[in-house]
């Protein structure tokens, strides 16, 4: 009987502690939110400066910028590079329903819903239900910033801004990409930090990946390591370095 009473008391104490922890967490969150929303020194201003409609669908995209009421050195970590966005609101103008593209921290470099062969400047007809984004979302060099030192990734969503996901390889910098209409594939050239110095430079390896839209979850490298090794041997055979001092 004593053991039963003791177990009951322990259970009550455990539940009480959990509720106390939850209260402290919610209270801390509430205090932080209050500072963001009510403190004039930390006032943030949402800026929906422009919007675009997707193919006469009634779906509107509002790229988000942010302005601070007071700019100081202490707040520079919130700065967003010119021409970048930190999120996008999608609005269905027929139903007035709206949502954010994502809850993750990211810098949106650009988005593309009507020209899939961007590097060649070729506009294709609107016959696939996707929007593509070039985004920085990883602090690759661990400097607590998202900027040009971090890899650019290729993301995709549907026309409603849902099913948002990364389709280029993690920790590899996107160089260029194209949509191949005949095979419904995305081809992309990405740069790997092969020097392992936390930077993407001219000495790093560039590889080509493919992904079939609507089918593949992860990109696949096109050229095998065996084939790339053969290329290295062939190059070394025909284009050996010349020592000018000899």
- The full set of domain ranges for the chain reads 37-238
Least confident of 11-15, 58-62, 137-141, 223-227: 11-15
pLDDT (average), residues 63-70: 68
Q: What is the pLDDT of residue 79?
A: 65
Lowest-confidence region among 51-55, 80-84, 113-117, 224-228: 113-117
CB count within 10 Å of CB 145 equals: 16
pLDDT of residue 12: 47
- Top pLDDT among 197 and 159 is at 159
* Residue 66: its H or E element: strand 59-68
Q: Quote the CA–CA distance of 48 and 55 in Å, as a whole number.
A: 20
Mean pLDDT for the stretch of residues 206-235: 93
37-238 to CATH, choices 3.90.1640, 2.60.120, 2.40.50, 2.40.128: 2.40.128
Give the per-residue pLDDT at 23: 34
Per residue in 104-142, pLDDT tens? 999 999 998 764 444 444 444 456 789 999 999 999 988
DSSP 119-183: GGTB---S-S--EEEEEE---TT-SS--STTSPPEEEEE-TTS-S-EE-SPTTEEEEEEEEETTT
Provide mean pLDDT across the span 77-83: 65
Q: What is the mean pLDDT of residues 153-181?
A: 94
Identify which of 145, 129, 136 has the alpha carbon closest to the alpha carbon of residue 57.
Answer: 129
**CA 89 – CA 48 distance, rounded (Å):** 9
pLDDT at 6 over 60: no
Higher-scoring residue by pLDDT: 82, 93: 93
Average pLDDT, the chain: 78
pLDDT in tens, 179-210: 988 888 999 999 998 888 888 988 889 999 99
């Amino acid at each position: 009987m004593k053991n039963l009473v003791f177990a009951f008391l322990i259970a009550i104490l455990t539940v009480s502690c959990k509720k106390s922890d939850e209260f402290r967490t919610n209270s801390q969150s509430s205090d932080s939110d209050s500072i963001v929303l009510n403190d004039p020194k930390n006032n943030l201003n949402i800026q929906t400066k422009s919007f675009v409609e997707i193919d006469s669908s009634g779906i509107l995209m509002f790229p988000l910028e942010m302005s601070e009421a007071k700019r100081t050195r202490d707040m520079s970590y919130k700065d967003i590079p010119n021409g970048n966005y930190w999120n996008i609101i999608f609005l269905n103008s027929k139903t007035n329903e709206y949502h954010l593209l994502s809850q993750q921290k990211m810098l949106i470099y650009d988005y593309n819903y009507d020209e899939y062969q961007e590097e060649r400047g070729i506009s294709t007809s609107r016959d696939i239900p996707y929007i593509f984004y070039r985004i920085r979302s990883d602090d690759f060099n661990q400097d607590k910033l998202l900027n040009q030192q971090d890899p650019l990734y290729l993301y995709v969503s549907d026309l409603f801004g849902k099913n948002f996901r990364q389709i280029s390889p993690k920790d590899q910098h996107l160089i260029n990409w194209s949509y191949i209409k005949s095979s419904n594939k995305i081809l992309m050239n990405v740069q790997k930090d092969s020097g392992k110095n936390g930077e993407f430079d001219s000495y790093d390896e560039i590889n080509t990946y493919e992904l079939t839209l609507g089918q593949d979850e992860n990109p696949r490298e096109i050229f095998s390591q065996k084939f790339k090794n053969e290329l290295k041997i062939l190059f070394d055979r025909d284009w050996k370095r010349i020592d000018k001092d000899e």
